[in-house]
Copies of this chain bind each other. A is one copy, B any other.
């Protein structure tokens, strides 16, 4: 068993009001690099601070790290287009930072990253991979990818109130900029990932396709970005079973059932019981950081190990709280 964290960036995150995965535009580009360090080391070692939302809620990577301290999973960080170097060891699949999806060709490295990640997914020796992501702005690109594939499913948000109108406008502009009609990229996942997606979606889709194709069980740890990756995998013609392990906060934010049925994805929701816990966990429970950095996948692992009831305590105890 191994957790694979695809960490990358898209300048789509710089659109005002689109992401809470960092305290501002400059901080946002550090978030995936910092998340990778937090899950690897339990502290940032090169990134300037622990990522927080504009309202001060810390990154879900802290929960993923706490679970790692409890259950001791192996970690592979894949560079899905990092904008600043991370202090965590990473594997390259050739992904570079994505540009704003409203540009004409925002992710030229997507096809190459998909192919290299698929090879990696085939080669990894584990019987189970739990795959997560960290990319600010990723729900907007996830929505654009869903629409390009002709998939009508909703996406969640890292913000307490999902800026859906804004996302719909960005997605419409993205499809326009690349001369794509909704549904035009059906059965052509590389087209969708490259022209309206982000480098993390391409990386995750390739990894998952490769792993499934070689008989590896895959659990997607996350929310609607992982569901968009699942859509890419299904549109690549890969039919093996897939599970999405997510948090109750994500599941409460957006209906997953219809999408999961349509994409043939089993959904499992694991509740860490953060309601009533001290800050900042209670804020997570209130929906301020619903998913990210494989939090849902980590909680699923904690439950399987019988450690779910101590995740809250471990998160508060074990993780460096600088920057909270």
- A interface with B by C-beta (< 8 Å): 41-43, 45-46, 72, 76-78, 85, 87-92, 120, 123-125, 320
Contact = CB atoms under 8 A, between A and B. Distances in A.
Given A45-B125, A90-B91, A125-B320, 12 more contacts: A41-B124, A42-B125, A43-B125, A45-B120, A45-B124, A46-B123, A78-B89, A85-B92, A87-B120, A88-B89, A89-B90, A89-B91
A2 to B, nearest CB: 9
Contacts of A124: 41, 45
Count of this chain's copies in the oligomeric assembly: 2
The binding surface of chain A is classed by DSSP as: loop
22 contacts: A41-B124, A41-B125, A42-B125, A43-B125, A45-B120, A45-B123, A45-B125, A46-B123, A72-B72, A76-B89, A77-B89, A78-B89, A85-B92, A87-B91, A87-B120, A87-B123, A89-B89, A89-B90, A89-B91, A90-B90, A90-B91, A125-B320
Contacts of A90: 89-91
Contacts of A85: 92
Contacts of A89: 76-78, 88-91
Contacts of A123: 45-46, 87
Contacts of A120: 45, 87
A123 B45 CA distance: 5
Nearest to A75: B89
A61 to B, nearest CB: 15
A90 B320 CA distance: 23
Nearest to A45: B123
Given A124-B41, A124-B45, A125-B42, A91 B88 contact: yes
State the 9 A-B residue pairs at the shortest beta-carbon distance, nearest first.
A45-B123, A89-B89, A89-B91, A43-B125, A89-B90, A41-B125, A76-B89, A77-B89, A87-B123
Contacts of A46: 123
